[in-house]
Structure 1
Amino acid sequence: MKKYIKHKIRKAKKMLGFTLAESIVTLGIVSFALVSGASILTIALKTSATARAKTAAIGIANEFMELYRNLPYDQIGTTAGWPAGSIPSNQNISRSGLTFTVTTRVDYMDDPFDGNAAGTIVGKPRDTAPNDYKRAEIKILSGSKTLTSLTTIISPRGLESAPNTGSLLLKVFDAAGQPVPEATVQIANSTTIPVVNITNTTDIDGNLSVLSLPPSLQSYRISVAKSGYTTDGTENPNGNGYTPLKTDLSIMANEVTEASFTIDRKSALTVKTINQQCQTISNKAFRLKSKKLRGNNPDTLKYTGDHDTGQNGRVTIGDLEWDKYDLNLTGGNDDIAGKNPSVIDLPAGVSQELTLVLAPHSPHSLLITVNDANTVLPLTDATVTVSRTGDDPATLITGRGFFIQSDWSGGNNQAMLANPDQYWSKDQNIDDATTAGILTLSKSTENFGYEESFSAIDRQDIGATTAVWDGSGIISLPQNGGLYESQAAAQTIKINSTDGWIAGATADATQNLNDGTIRYLLSSDGGLNFEPVNLSEPREFALRGSDLRLRVELETPDNLLTPTIDTVSVNYDVESYQTPGVLESSTFDTGGSSAFQGIQWDPANQIAETGTDSVKFQIAANNDNSAWNFKGPDNTADTYYSISGMTLGNLFDNSRYIRYRAILSAEDRRYSPTLSSVAIGYTSGCTPPGQVFFSDLRNDSYLVEITKTGYIPYSTMVDVQSQTEQIIPLTPEP
C-alpha cells in the first residue's frame, strides 16, 4: 500500500510541469541563440553589401581608366584643374542600385631620366621642358569612404609636349620649418588663355610641382590652406595701398618659378580683465595687433582686431597665427597696470590665457617689466625707483601687488572695495571731503564767553595798561594833580582757555562815557594786531590767531570828568580739529591666499605741532570676510604701525581679505595731520611677476634705477609719454 502511494505522488509531481528556475534558464538559452543568429545575419548582410559595392567600384574605375587611355593626349586633364582637359574632376555614377562619386586628378610628371625642372639631380642638366608625361588618378567613393583607386601613366606620342611653358615649384612648411603634407594649394590666373584655376595638395614632403603653365607676369595668385591651419598666399602687387611682401607670381617660358609658404596650426588667445584687487572688470575694449607684416610702404600688419571682454570680463580670440602681439586698451578709462604673461608670444597650435590688471586712467604712466638677461624670465623682488628733478622719488618692488587708496571723497558704507574713493566707516572726527584726495581731522567751531568785571587784576597786562585798573571793579582815567589825564588804555593778557583758531568775537560792555569816548579793540594773535570792534556787533578777524586779548582806550575832553567801564563781556568762536579720528577701509580681496609685506603712506612725516605718531594704523585680515580683529606689530590691539614702510611680518599671511584702520590725532588742535595715500603690499596668484606700475607721472624724462640681490644694478632714462611700457633686463653678477 505504501509503495502504491509513493508511486502516485511521483506521478503527480511529473504532471505539474517545469519549475520557475527551469523556465528562466530555458528562456535565456533561446534568447541568446536568437540574438546571435540575428547578429550573424546582420554582419553577413553588411559584408555582402560592402563586397557588392567594392566590386561595382572596381568595375567603374577600370571602365574610366580605359576611357582615359583612349583619349587624345591634349584632352587628358580635368575641367577644373591643371593640366586642363575634358575630364570632369567630380561626377556621380549609379550602378547596381548604388550611387558612386568618381574623382579624377591629372598631373604633369617630370621624369628624372633627363634631369628635373629644379636642376637638382647630380650629373643631369636642368630640364627646361619637364612635362614628360601625365599621371591620372581615379578614386571611387561611396559617401566619404574611398572604395578603390587606380593610377596610370599616359605618355605623349613623340617628343615632350607644350613648349614655351613654365613650371611652378611650391614648398609648404610650418613654423618649425617642417614640411606640411596634404596642404591645399589653389593656383589661379584669369589673364591666361585658357584661364588657370588649379586646386591641388602637397606631397609627403610638403612639395607641389605644377608643370606646363602658360607664361604670365605677376598674375599667378597662390592660396595655401589646410583644415585647422592658418593660411598663406600671394597678393596683387598693385591697388592695395601698400606693397605686399608676397606678390602674385610670374611664370616665364622655359623657366622654373619657386616659392615657399608657411602655415601652421591655428592658436587662440583668451584675454581676461581684472582690477588691482583681482576683481573681474567687464566690457573692456582693446585692440590686438600682430608683429608680422603683410606689406610695407606703409607698414601693414597681418592682423589687427578690435575686441571686448564682455559681461564676464573674458573673451577668446581664435584663428590666430603664431606671432608676437601687441595689445592696447581703446576705452580710455583705464591703464594696463600689469600683464601676465608680460609678453604675448603665441606659439602655433596652443590656447593661451592673458590676464590684464587694470588701474584707473592717468594721463601719463609707466609699466616696467624686469627680466633676467639670460633666461628672459621675470624677476620678483627687484626694487625699482623712479625719480624726476623736483619730485620725490617713488619706489616699488616687482611681483608685489599693492592695495592703494588715495581718495576717500566717495563716502562710507562700502563693504567690499569696488570704488577706489570709498571706504567702510569713519567717526565724526574724520574729514574726507573738504580737500579732494586728502584725509584730515574734522574741524569744528565752538562758542565761548569771557567776562571781565575788573574786580581783580589777574588778567591785566601790566606793561600795556595805563588806565586805573586796581581791582575796585571799575576802569577809569588816571589823575594827575586832581585832574584826569586826557587818555589812557587798559589791556588783558590771554582770555581764551581753549586751544584753536579764534575766528571771530562779539564784545558788550557796561560803561559811562561822561562826555568822553571809549574804543574797544580785540586781537586774536596775542596783541600783535588789534582790530576795532563795535559793541554788540560780531567781528571776524582778518588775521586769525589763537591768543585772544581785549584792549580798551579811554579819552576825555574835560579833565574834570572820566569815562568808566564796569564790565566787558566777550563771546568768541574757536575753530579747532577734533581728535582723535578713526577711519576703517573697505575689504580688499587679493583673490586668494596671500602674503602681506608692509604698509606705507604719504606724507610719511607730519608737521611737529600734530605730535608724535599723529598718523598710525592697525591691520586686520581673514579668509571669511567677516571677523575683523585689528592689531599692531606685536599681534595685539594695543600697538600700532606708526612709521611708513613698516613690514607686516607674517602676522597676516595666508589670508585673502584685508582691511586697514587709520587713526589720526593732534596734540595741538590748531593743526591736523594729513593722509594722501596708503598702500599695503602683498603677493598672490594674480600679481603679475616681475612688474611694477607707476601712475600720475608727468610727460617728462625719468631716471629709472633697479637693484636686486645677485644682479648688477641698472639705471636708465625713460621718456614717459601717455601709457609707456618698458622691459628692462638685469644681468646676474659674475
Structure 2
Amino acid sequence: MTRIKKGFTLIEILVSIAIFAVILSGVYAVIIYVFKVTYISRVQVLETQVANEVIETLRNLPYESTGTIGGVPNGVWPQTTTTLRNGASFLVQTTIRNIDDPFDGLAGGSPNDTSPADFKLAEVRVFCSSCTGGQVRPTILTARISPKNTEADSQNGSLFIKVFDASGLLVPGATVHITNTLVNPNVDLTDTTNTNGELKIIDIATSTEGYSVVVSKNGYTTDYTIPETVNNPNPVKPLATVASQTVTNLSFSIDKISTINFSAINPQCSGLSNISFSVSGSKVIGENPNVYRYDQTVSTNSEGTKVLDNLEWDTYSFNLSNGSYDVAGTIPTLPVFLVPDATQNLSVILHSHTTNSLLLTIKDSATKLPLTNAAVSIDKGTFSDSLVTGRGYLRQTDWSGGSGQENFIDETGYFLQDGGVETNSPAGDLYLKKIGNKYQWSGELISSTIDFGTASNFTNIIWEPLSQPAQTGVDSIKFQIATASSSAPSSWNFLGPDGTGETYYTVSDSNISAVHNGDRFLRYKISLSTANQNFSPQLSEVSISYTSGCTPPGQSFFYGLDSGTYNLTVTLPGYQNVITTADVSGRSQVEVLMSP
C-alpha cells in the first residue's frame, strides 16, 4: 500500500509569510512606540528634576537677590543657562516677575497700591536641546516666592504693556524685549504676554525716555519704541518713561507678515530687469518731518520680478525711479492695500518714456473699484485722442526703419512689402510709391510679428487718418489680420472681419473677428490703392486693442503729449458722464470717479 505524503504548496507558504510579516510589522511598531514614550517620559523626569533644583535654589536666595540678571526684579540668577544630566544638555530659561496682589489694591487702581510688588513669581522652562525622540514642548514649573518682612513704599513705577493685532484683538504669547542702559543695574529682559495679551512689569526703576521696548512673535511683524535721532527728531512712539509710583501704559500692534510679489513688465507681458522703484507705506514712525515705517528703494531682477516679504499690513505706494520708462498702468490699481497674512501680486506695466504722458484711472465713486470699458477722450487745440479703459493698445506710427524685420523689436520696422508702398517720404507715414509724377495703383505691406506676451483677445483695429482723398476711391485703405499661438507658424493666414480671407477691415475702429481670440502672436497686412494716380491714401498710425492678463483694469495711458491743460471726457453706460480737465506736465496721473 502506497502512503501519500501531504505538504504545503508554494502559494500557501508565501501567504503565510505575508501574514506573519504584517503581524510582525505591527508588533515592531508597537515596540518602537513604547520605547519612544518611555524615552520621552525619562527626558521629562530629568527636566522636572532640573526645574525643581532651580526653584529650590531661588527659594533659598535672599529675597532682594531673587531676580534675573538684567530683569525686573533684578537679581543674581541668569535668564538663560544650560546644564548637563546623564550626558544630555538642557536649556534652562528663568523668568521672575513682581506680582501685584489685589488684596491691598492695584497699581494705578483705586485705591492705588504705591508698593505693588507684593511677591515674586518664578517660572522655569527646561528643554532638552540635545535629545531626540519627538519632544516638542518644554517642561514648565512655577513657584511663588514671598518676602519675609512687611513691604515698604517703593519709589519705583510700573510698566504695563498690551499687544493688539490688526483687528484690535489682544495677542497672547508675544515676545517683549525691554532694555534700559540709563538705570543701574541695567535692564535687559525678555518676557511674553499672557493669555490676555498683557505683560505687567511691577516695581521697575524710574527713567525718563529710557526704556526701549520691542514686541515680536514668530511669523508676525514687529512693533517697537523709537529713540530720538537726527533723522527722526519727533518719533511717534518714543522710548518709554516710568515715573515713581505711577503706571506707564504702552500699546503695540503686530500681526502676521505679508508678501508682495512685484513685477515690472512691458505692454506685451515681458519682464523688465533692473527697474528701480521707491516703495513706501502710509504708517509713520516720526512726524515733522514724516518718517515712514517702510520706505525702501527696490529693483527688479533679471526676470523683472522682486519679492517684498516680511511686510506689515499697510497701504503701499510705488513710484518709478527709472527715467527710461513711464508707468502705463498697474494690476491691480495703486495703492496696494495689504492685509495681514496675505500674498498680493502687483504688476506695473511700463512704456518707453516720453516727455509728457497721462495715466488716467477710472473708478466707481462708491466702491473705488476700477471701471472697464469706459470711453476716455482728451483734446487740446487741434489734437484729440480716445481710448477705452481695460484694454491694451499696441501702436505703430512709423515704418521708416525698413523691411526684413521678422519680429516687432524696432517699432519703425516691418517684415515685407511688394514695392508699391512708400515708407520714408515723409518719414512716419505710408503712401503709395511714386513713379515719376504718378502714384502706383496699389501696394501691400506686412508687419513684423507682434508678441502680445500671453494669450489675448483682440478687440479692435484702429487707424488714422480716418478720411482719405475722395479721388483715391472707396476702401483705399484696408486691413487683414493673421494670428498664431507660436511666433513661427507654418503659414500666416490673413483674415477679414468675417473670419475668412475674402473680406477686409475697411472702417477704422472695427471689431476684430473672434476667431483670433486666444492667440498670442499677430501680423497685420495693409493694402493701399487709388482710383486716380495723382492721389494717394495716407496712413499715419495703426493700433490693435486687446485684453489679456497684462491689461491694467480701469486705466488708459496717453503718451507723446504736449504739456498743457487738456479737456477730458469720460463716458460709460449706467454712469453719469464726466467732463473735466487734466493738466499734463511730465509724468501725470489723474483719478476720475464716476457716479451711477
The TM-score, its normalising length taken from structure 2, stands at 0.91
Q: Secondary structure at the match of 1:437?
A: strand
Equivalent position of 2:528 in the other structure: 664
1:95 corresponds, among 77, 82, 85, to 85
8 Å Cα contact 2:362/2:593 also seen in 1:
yes
User: 2 CA distance for matches of 1:162 and 1:609?
Assistant: 107
State which of 672, 685, 692 in structure 1 corresponds to 2:549: 685
Residue 508 of structure 2: aligned partner: 644
Aligned partner (choices 367, 383, 391) of residue 375 of structure 1: 367
Tell me the CA shift for residue 55 of structure 1: 2.8
2:527 is the counterpart of 1:696: no
Q: Quick check: 1:602 aligned with 2:469?
A: no
Report the Cα offset of residue 340 of structure 1: 0.7
Residue 352 (1) aligns with residue 216 (2): no
Q: 1:641 to 1:49 in 2, by over 3 A?
A: closer
- The 8 Å contact of residues 108 and 211 in structure 1, kept in 2 or not, is answered as yes
**Alignment partner, residue 66 of structure 2:** 76
Superposition deviation, residue 200 in structure 1: 1.1
* Number of the residue aligned with 2:198: 207
Do residues 271 (structure 1) and 262 (structure 2) align?
yes
Alignment check: 8 A CA contact 2:399 2:429 kept = yes
**Which residue does 1:543 correspond to in 2?**
none
- 1:181 equivalent to 2:45? Answer no
The superposition leaves residues 312-367 of structure 1 with CA deviations (integer Å, 9 ceiling, x where unpaired) of 22221211111111112222222111111012221111111112222221111111
C-alpha separation between the residues in 2 aligned to 1:51 and 1:652?
A: 70
Distance 2:297 2:506 in 1: 48
Following superposition, the deviation at residue 69 of structure 1 comes to 1.6
- State the secondary structure of the residue aligned to 2:428: coil
Higher deviation after alignment, 63-72 or 435-444? 435-444
Q: CA distance change for structure 1 residues 333 and 97 in 2, over 3 Å: closer, same or farther?
A: closer
Question: Would you say how many aligned residue pairs link Structure 1 and Structure 2?
Answer: 588
Structure 1, gaps ≥5 residues long: 446-499, 501-575
Question: Which residue identity does 1:49 align to in structure 2?
Answer: Y
Q: Answer whether contact 1:132 1:161 (CA < 8 A) is retained.
A: no
- How many Å apart are 1:63 and its aligned residue? 2.7
Kindly indicate whether the alpha-carbon contact (under 8 Å) linking 2:70 and 2:188 is maintained by their aligned counterparts in 1.
yes
Q: Is the contact made by 1:139 and 1:146 (CA closer than 8 Å) also made in structure 2?
A: no
1: distance between equivalents of 2:497 and 2:46?
90
Distance in 1 (alpha carbons) for counterparts of 2:348 and 2:94: 53
* Contact 2:172/2:197 (<8 A) preserved: yes
Aligned 8 A contact 1:591 1:685 in 2: no
CA distance in 1, matches of 2:314, 2:426: 49
Q: 1:684 to 1:127 in 2, by over 3 A?
A: same
What pairs up with 1:97-496 in 2 under 5 angstroms? 97-119=87-109, 124-143=110-129, 145-146=136-137, 148-160=139-151, 163-343=154-334, 344-388=336-380, 390-445=381-436
Aligned to 2:57: 67
Amino acid at match of 1:693: F
Greater CA drift, 703-712 or 412-421: 412-421
1:620 pairs, out of 471, 478, 482, with 482
Residues 43 and 264 of structure 1: CA distance in aligned 2, closer, same or farther (over 3 Å): closer
8 A contact 2:275–2:300 mirrored in 1: yes
- Indicate yes or no: 2:574 matched with 1:582: no
Which residue identity lines up with residue 350 of structure 2 in the other structure? L
Q: Deviations over 1:351-409 (max 9, x none)?
A: 11112222221111111111111222211111111122x23221111112222111223
Distance 1:396 1:86, change over 3 A: same
* Correspondence for 1:51 among 18, 33, 41: 41
Query: Following TM superposition, by how much is the alpha carbon of 1:18 offset from its aligned partner in structure 2, in angstroms?
Result: 6.6
Amino acid at match of 1:142: C
1:582 to partner: Cα distance: 1.4
| Between 203-212 and 408-417, the greater mean CA deviation after superposition | 408-417
Structure 1, 96-105 or 85-94: larger mean CA deviation: 96-105
- Provide the C-alpha distance between the structure 2 equivalents of 1:686 and 1:360, rounded to a whole number of angstroms: 16
CA displacement, residues 229-258 of structure 1 (integer Å, 9 cap, x when unaligned): 111111112333542222111111111111
Shift of 1:722: 1.7
- 2:64 counterpart SS class: helix
What stretches of structure 2 of length at least 5 have no aligned partner?
130-134
Go from structure 1 to structure 2 and tell me whether the alpha carbon gap of 1:50 and 1:641 turns closer, same or farther (over 3 Å shift): closer
Farther-moved stretch of structure 1 (580-589 vs 203-212): 580-589
**Counterpart contact for 1:173–1:263, Cα < 8 Å:** yes
State TM-score, norm by structure 1. 0.74
Could you tell me how far 1:20 is from its partner in structure 2? Answer: 4.4
Q: Within 1, Cα distance between the matches of 2:389 and 2:8?
A: 87
Match for residue 132 of structure 2? none
Q: Which residue type is aligned with residue 601 of structure 1? A: W
Moved more, 210-219 or 300-309: 300-309
Structure 2 distance, partners of 1:430, 1:56, is: 93
Higher Cα Rg, which structure: 1
Aligned equivalents of 1:421, 1:84: Cα separation in 2? 77
Structure 2: distance between partners of 1:149 and 1:634? 79
